[in-house]
Structure 1
């Protein structure tokens, strides 16, 4: 905290100015502290996500997340009422949606070996 300089022989006016500066600095410090406390859970979640990805060695984690959401959508979705979407059609759609992901995984595993 930067404390303002207070001269020894100061008038009442200078003392009031110094007091106001001190109050403003304290207020800035309080705001900074409160904002850090509010952002702490977000920073913790960011760190957790990064350490989780690094710890498991997961490459392309956002792509895996999209694949998981797609799978859940296909398996838990009701399908169109009266649209005649059969389970075979849904599986074909799932396969064509996941082909790029499967190719990426296959390329990554062949590079490791």
Structure 2
């Protein structure tokens, strides 16, 4: 017996709103993998995500979500997400959880 059933037993006359089941993701999923690269720019490590073929606005949403999840800075330029620091493993895990295919490029 889950919490919802217990609440219905306690308050039988109350009308509970049904929560919608898993909705479609708001970001377009692609078949090709997203490339996750590591580079050094001006002596600083950066992680670069490239190869997304969906809408630019979706890629910007993804960039914002990654930056907030990791708590780091970054930017979106030339259809690439540039994250400050070497976070390849964390980003790849996050994207795989969202359903994307990710390919690690370089070391």
- Please, what TM-score do these two structures have when normalized by structure 2? 0.22
More helix by share: 1
Higher relative contact order (CA 8 A, sep 6+): 2
More strand by share: 2
- Please, what TM-score do these two structures have when normalized by structure 1? 0.21
